[in-house]
Amino acid sequence: MPKSKKQEELEQQIGELTQDLQRTRADFENYRKRVEMEKSAARESGQAMAILKLLPTIDNIERAIAHAPADIADNAWVQSVMNLTKQLDKSLENLNLKRIEAAPGTEFNAELHEAIQFDEGAEGEKEVIAEELQAGYTLNGSPIRHSMVKVTRQ
């Protein structure tokens, strides 16, 4: 039985509406994914900003411990401050914050280290770190603050 013109028009209209619905669903799914990615990026950005505000305090605590007089190193108060820094380090590590390796002798990496001083008189084939001047950190594998270092050749 041949389809009437009216039936063909209705089937064509149903097909067009079905395609429109499929496009709308796909657009909504893409929108939902984009919003999730934006929320995640905003959360990570906020986390990074909060951590960046804490880093100077961490630096000062580390300097204070490094310059503690030897005669009071065994003092209970000094030991408790050292334990606080260990606890703080562990908490920051749980947030995926990791200290950048910048020990003397480590190969200089411009992606992780910022050369503040360079030993011009040194000779050698590769650039290595002579001294770490300020600690650097990565958050979720990306540097949020580069290590400030003194560089020499080896």
Q: Strand runs (DSSP E) across 23-136, as ranges?
A: 97-99, 113-118, 127-134
- pLDDT at 122 > cutoff 80: yes
Pick the closest to residue 59 from 25, 99, 7 (CA basis): 99
* Predicted TM-score (pTM) of this structure: 0.74
Contact 153, 124 (CB under 8 A): yes
pLDDT one-digit tens code per residue, 14-49 = 999 999 999 999 999 999 999 999 999 999 999 999
Map out the domains of the chain as residue ranges. Answer: 1-80, 96-154
- Looking at residue 78, what is its pLDDT? 85
What is the torsional sign of CA 41, 43, 45, 51? negative
Q: How does DSSP classify residue 126?
A: S
More confident residue, 111 or 89: 111
Residues 6+ apart with CB under 8 A from 58: 85, 88, 92, 135
- Structure tokens given for 35: 């919003």
96-154 architecture in CATH?
Roll (2.30)
Q: Write down the residue that tokens 């003092």 correspond to.
A: 75
Percent of the residues in the chain that have a pLDDT greater than 70, as a whole number: 99
pLDDT one-digit tens code per residue, 57-96 = 989 988 888 888 888 888 898 888 888 888 988 998 999 9
- Looking at residue 1, what is its pLDDT? 62
User: How far apart (Å, rounded) are the C-alpha atoms in residues 101 and 117?
Assistant: 18
Provide the pLDDT confidence category of residue 121 given band limits of 50, 70 and 90.
Answer: confident
